[in-house]
Structure 1
Amino acid sequence: MISMAERTAVLVVAAFLLTRVKAFRSTLHRQASLREKALMVAIFSGISIMGTYMGIPYQDAIANSRVIGAVVAGLLAGPWVGLGTGLIAGAHRYSLGGFTDLACAVSTIVEGILAGLVFRWRKQREMSWSIGLGVGFVAEWIQMGIILLLARPWDQALELVKAISVPMSVVNSLGIAVFMIIIDLVKNEEDRIGALQAQRTLQVADKTLSFLREGLTPGSADKLAREIMRTTRVAAVAITDQERILAHVGKGSTHHVPGQEISTKATREVLSNKVMKLASSKEEIGCNEPHCQLRSAILVPLMLKHEAVGVLKLYQDRNSKLSAVDLELVRGLGTLISTQLELAALEQQARLLADAEIKALQAQINPHFLFNALNTIVSFIRFRPEKARELLLHLGEYFRRNLHHSGEFVTLEEELEHVEAYLAIERARFDEKLQVEYVIEPGAEKCLIPSLLLQPLVENAVKHGLLPKREGGLVTIQARVNGAGTLELTVKDNGVGFSGDPFFPHLANAQEKRRMSGIGLGNVRARIQTIYGSPYGIAIKSEAGRGTTCTITLPSGVKTYAKSVSR
């Protein structure tokens, strides 16, 4: 028993070394591919054969630890791996001869299948050391029974079983249990690394999500690198774009200077191949500075639309080594940053779309409004030059605000000044037919809103609501912050009104459809949805002969949110 224990200890050391193999680790998490399972058969067959060669010869037989490889293979990877291991190890034992050769070959196959069936039975639960101990003990006594059943002469087989049954069943079952304990420790180590990596990634993510709103810039890269440096234990953190260093924090910053062209061959290789790289030496990093303190690095590409737009790099110096946690951390951060760059690109596209819609809105408004305004001013020049001068000032103010605030966020007060410049000219055109009333709750005028939000609604109220009415009417502009914290803007008129919904094909006639579903209302609605999303937007209620009410709702905290989007 002592001799067998010594030999089994060698196999346990081999088991520990086996836990360093990637394919073996994959099997622990039920993720092994067919190719990896084939590799597992080869590895465990080798362990079983080693156990045979390290056995103790006794009466033309061998007291050995061959069972450890077959049983552990079945417990970890299932019946097919157990069967494959048993076949190879059993065939090898049969080739060595002896009166127990057939019995030992058959028992090895049976032991591998038995362990595989236990794997099937325990598939959804952890495989503990106690199960390994029990399966190993049962497997060894099954082997003793097969020897008694197949080995001849029977008297010699019985004498052999009496001598080896207790040492083999005790030592080998304990060896299997120790093997399973080592595996359990490896799994716990993997889980601990994963949990620590996830924790650090989430910490960095929580601090850096806002940095990349404008994409990968020197400013955002510097903030990101400093936060990663603060959260991790590395010697330096660097971020590049496709051509230059955007940020470098930590050791090596004297010669890895932001703004310089990329100098390391490892970075150029990652940009070219678009795959993560582990550089374990200064030579692999490829820095041209002879006194550079950086000795190892993990480099991961930052992807945008399947293109590498930059590289994130974590460095260590000669005093530390990059750990498995660092490897998983930078992998996770690379994915996180790439996702943020994708979102920033989408947000930029949404802003460009909104700006394009504003330009289209201006292209529709300006020519018609300018033509009417100039005609009105011409009519005042001869008889009321001061009024003409006043209208020219309003016209200039109107176009100045159009050009200056295109696509930006403005305060409600500024938007109302823009609307008033428009209304001043319209009042001059239609005199007493047009009346305007402002009902602005104190404090609401300081809230930020998208520019050109109210002007299209006011223009619709004047052109399509009041002017078709012989006696004209009143436009009321209201603003208030309601109890839910949302900003509510209302443009109301007591004009001719209409029936149906301006955004859907339920209007009474085609003329109403054309006039109310034009670019003005559609633009306002689409911009609100683009910026704020559901459930915010514009609601329109109208009744033929009674007038129309347009109500815009913006989210709570609109002031702060609009500032961040504007930046």
Structure 2
Amino acid sequence: MIELFILMMERVGLIILLAFLLVNVPYFKKILLSRDKYQSKLQLAIIFSLFAIISNFTGIEIKDNQIVPSSILTNLHDNVSIANTRTLAIGVSGIVGGPFVGGMVGLIAGTHRFIQGSHYSLFYIPSSLLVGFLSGKLGKKLTKKGQFPTATQAAFIGAFMEVVQMLFIMLFSGGNLQQGINLVSFIAFPMIILNSTGTFIFLSILTTTLQQEEQAKAVQTHDVLELAAATLPYFREGLNEHSAQEVATIIQHYTKVSAISLTDTHRILAHYGAGSDHHIPELEVITELSKDVLKHGKLSIVHHKEHIGCSNPNCPLEAAIVIPLFVHKKIVGTLKMYFTDASQLTHVEEQLAKGLGTIFSTQIELGEAEVQSKLLKEAEIKSLQAQVNPHFFFNAINTISALMRKDSDKARTLLLQLSTYFRGNLQGARHTLIPLKQELAQVDAYLSLEQARFPNRYTVTFDVDDTLIHYVVPPYAVQILVENTIKHAFGSRKENNHAHVSIYKKQEKLIISVKDNGLGIPDERLTHLGKESVVSEKGTGTALENLSKRMTNLFGEQAEFNVQNNLDSGVIFTLTIPLIEANNSTTLN
């Protein structure tokens, strides 16, 4: 029995070899990780069946409870049995692949054992089929969250499967029950122990290696999240030369691959790393591999230099993953990960590449969405600006026309002011922000025209910090507040109408305040001003609402529109916006 035990230990080494192949060879590992797929199940069944058949061939021949020296067992004589690791291979296949794989391997291995010889060996077909199916069922029951059973659980399953096989051997092997009992008493202990031990070792190798890979993936996930955060600001600009160059450098830093390349649909935008001497930005896409991915929109992986298709004979790149980048399901370019050593391109890199392709496509799409959103906001802002009191022009022209008969010099001055006002309106329609100096010139022109219509009715004074005139404000921001005050603050009062405009800086914010000594605003209207149209005797409040909307669109929560009644009399309008210099403004266009 001890001799049999030692010989069987040698055969168990075959199963350990199988475990090593499954977890260390990329092709087999890929099958193992996708074992729920039908195609992978078939491949696992074939792999385990080969090892089970090898177990039959390399078994230990036993006759009359004695070990018979032999080599490869191809044909067996009657009254000859073999001790082998077939049941171990079948049981492990069920634990790993489930009932289908275990049953297939059991059927194939049992049929082969029957073909090997002896008319008493027919029972190996149903027994092996049962072992495969039962081990698959038990393995599936003990599997949690896609993980394999523990090595200890697998060892108990392995021992139980060998006990089932021993029962069949005892009942159906040889010419009578006593002969079966004698055979089982000779082989049962070493085969049960070694089957259990082999299953334990197999699952230990499998689970330990996969756990290490999961830990590596966790670290990689952390790096990918950092990578995504680092590339987002650049991809939000869109896929262009500047963003691509920055992104390629960042990706290469995090992934440690030999080279990173980014293209649009026609040319190389950036190439960082090995091969940068001839994979030059601004050249047309040069590799056939990239052209094929751009044409078909499918990820492509190659492990040989000639498959990359680079025309440079000295190109150091040996392997590559080319990932298509999509925006709204339309291919806009590619991300290419190159390797100077083909062995570095593993299953982990493949999964990483697929994930990065999805992330970067989303980031580019997000960037385009933001650009479109910005364009829509600017269109809305300019639409609101176009609504600013167009009938004022007609009143001004009528006033100038009447003055031309009485005071031609003043009419000429007002005509120049109207020209200034027109020019300011045209610039305001083109820009979303203008210098405060320009806005104040616009207000001055407006007041000149209004005071020509209503001489000495209003007094408007200004208190402006001269250091602020080069900062930007929304067009008509001051004018609308002044115009609103002149129109609505004083009612029918003909004199003692004062408005004071103050513009100053406070905590890196630009404050525009317009205060009057008018009649004030009823409380029921006060809370709605700037938020919606408010109907009054002389207007609808649309201009204030438009101004508030433009400020929100431009500055978000950094902008404030406030209106309140003064304690003694009148109203105070206050605008608060970020302090932005004209030459640093990104929206002044």
Q: TM-score range by the shorter chain?
A: 0.7 to 0.9
2:472 and 2:114 mapped to 1: Cα distance? 86
Kept in 2: contact 1:275–1:301 (CA 8 A): yes
Amino acid at match of 1:306: K
Moved more, 251-260 or 449-458: 449-458
Amino acid at match of 1:302: L
1:8 counterpart = 2:17:
no
State the partner residue of 1:63. 83
Q: What is the rounded CA distance, in whole Å, between the counterparts of 1:522 and 1:194 in structure 2? A: 53
* Other structure's SS at 2:233 match: coil
1:241 aligns with 2:261: no
What is the aligned counterpart of 1:127 among 126, 149, 156?
Answer: 149
**Deviation at 1:536?**
6.5
- 1:201 maps to 224
The residue number in structure 2 matching 1:18 is 22
| Secondary structure, aligned partner of 2:120 | coil
| 1:426 equivalenced with 2:450 (yes/no) | yes
Task: Tell me how far apart the structure 1 counterparts of residues 46 and 458 of structure 2 sit (CA, whole Å).
Answer: 91
Letter of the structure 2 residue corresponding to residue 167 of structure 1: P
Tell which structure's C-alpha radius of gyration is larger.
Answer: 2
Query: CA 1:466/1:514 → structure 2, altered by over 3 Å: closer, same or farther?
Result: closer
| Counterpart residue identity of residue 71, structure 1 | G
1:99 and 2:123 are equivalent in the alignment: no
CA distance in 2, matches of 1:290, 1:538: 67
Q: Aligned to 2:95, which of 53, 66, 75? A: 75
In structure 2, relative to structure 1, the CA distance for the partners of 1:357 and 1:54 (3 Å cut) is same
Contact 1:107 1:142 in 2 (8 A): no
Q: Which moved more, 1:378-387 or 1:1-10?
A: 378-387
Deviation of 1:265 after TM superposition, in Å, equals 1.9
Equivalent residue, structure 2, for 1:263: 286
Q: Which ranges of structure 1 fall in alignment gaps of 5 or more residues?
A: none
Residue 355 of structure 1: how far off its partner (Å): 2.3
In structure 1, C-alpha distance between the alignment counterparts of 2:115 and 2:563, rounded to whole Å:
90
Q: For the structure 1 residues 467 and 333, does the alpha-carbon distance in structure 2 shift closer, same or farther, using more than 3 Å as the test?
A: farther
* 1:7 to 1:527, Cα distance in 2 relative to 1, 3 A: farther
Query: Equivalences for 1:68-467 in 2 at 5 Å?
Result: 68-94=88-114, 96=116, 98-99=119-120, 101-102=122-123, 105-106=126-127, 108-110=129-131, 112-124=133-145, 127-151=149-173, 153-317=176-340, 321-365=344-388, 367-380=390-403, 388=411, 391-392=414-415, 394-404=417-427, 406-410=430-434, 415=439, 418-436=442-460, 450-453=474-477, 455-456=479-480, 458-463=482-487, 465-466=488-489
One-letter amino acid of the counterpart of residue 207, structure 1: A
Q: Secondary structure at the match of 1:313?
A: strand
| One-letter amino acid of the counterpart of residue 302, structure 2 | A
Q: 1:506 to 1:237 in 2, by over 3 A?
A: closer
Cα pair 1:28 1:76 within 8 Å, conserved: no
Q: TM-score, normalised by structure 2?
A: 0.78
Measured in 2, the distance between the counterparts of 1:26 and 1:513 equals 78
In structure 1, what is the Cα distance between the partners aligned to 2:575 and 2:84? Answer: 84
Cα deviation code 1:491-514 (max 9, x no counterpart):
66646747454688996x7x7898
Separation of aligned partners in 1, 2:297 and 2:422: 49
Partner of 1:68, secondary structure, is: helix
Aligned length: 556
Residue 249 (structure 1) shift: 3.0
Q: Against the structure 1 CA distance between its residues 247 and 146, is the aligned structure 2 distance closer, same or farther, given a 3 Å change threshold?
A: same
* In 2: Cα distance, 1:459 partner to 1:42 partner: 86
Check conservation: 1:433, 1:467, Cα contact below 8 A.
no
Q: Is the 8 A contact 2:321 2:337 kept in 1?
A: yes
Give the aligned partner of residue 69 of structure 2.
none
For the structure 1 residues 75 and 441, does the alpha-carbon distance in structure 2 shift closer, same or farther, using more than 3 Å as the test? farther
Q: 1:348–1:366: structure 2 CA closer, same or farther, 3 Å change rule?
A: farther
CA 145–318 in structure 1, closer or farther in 2 if over 3 Å, else same: closer
Write out aligned runs for 1:395-544 (5 A).
395-404=418-427, 406-410=430-434, 415=439, 418-436=442-460, 450-453=474-477, 455-456=479-480, 458-463=482-487, 465-466=488-489, 469-471=492-494, 494=518, 497=521, 499=524, 501=528, 515-516=540-541, 518=542, 520-521=543-544, 523-531=546-554
Whether the 8 Å CA contact 1:409–1:451 is kept in 2: the answer is yes
Whether contact under 8 Å (1:73, 1:85) holds in the other structure is yes
Q: Shift of the alpha carbon at 1:456?
A: 4.5
Note the alpha carbon deviations across 1:16-70, whole angstroms, 9 max, x for none: 32344668646547x7234433443444344434333332232433312122333
Moved more, 311-320 or 292-301: 311-320
Taking structure 1 as the reference length, what is the TM-score of the superposition?
Answer: 0.80
Distance in 2 between residues matched to 1:456 and 1:26, nearest whole Å:
71
How large is the Cα RMSD of the aligned pairs?
Answer: 4.3
Task: Check whether the contact 1:200–1:329 (CA below 8 A) recurs between aligned residues.
Answer: no
Distance change (3 Å), C-alpha of 1:167 and 1:558: farther
Q: Distance in 1 between matches of 2:410 and 2:502?
A: 28
Equivalent in the alignment of 2:70: none
Q: Could you tell me whether the CA contact under 8 Å between 1:354 and 1:407 is conserved in 2?
A: no
1:445 CA drift (Å): 7.6
Q: d(CA) in 2 for partners of 1:79 and 1:487?
A: 74
- The 1:254–1:117 alpha-carbon spacing in structure 2 relative to 1, beyond 3 Å, is closer
The change in CA–CA distance for 1:318 and 1:177 in structure 2 (over 3 A counts) is: closer
SS for the counterpart of 1:294 is: coil
CA distance in 2: counterparts of 1:430 and 1:26, whole angstroms: 88
- Percent identity of the aligned residues? 34
Give the residue type in structure 1 aligned to 2:61.
Answer: P
**Does residue 1:32 correspond to 2:48, yes or no?**
no
Do the aligned partners of 2:259 and 2:339 also contact (CA within 8 Å) in 1? yes
Aligned AA (2:58): M
Deviation at 1:190, TM superposition (A): 3.2
CA contact (8 A) 1:469 1:496 kept: no
Judge which range, 367-376 or 159-168, deviates more.
367-376
In 2 relative to 1, CA 234–78 (structure 1 residues): closer, same or farther, beyond 3 Å?
A: closer
**Amino acid in the other structure paired with 2:297:** K
Deviation of 1:443 after TM superposition, in Å, equals 8.9
Cα distance, 1:396–1:259 mapped onto 2, change above 3 Å: farther
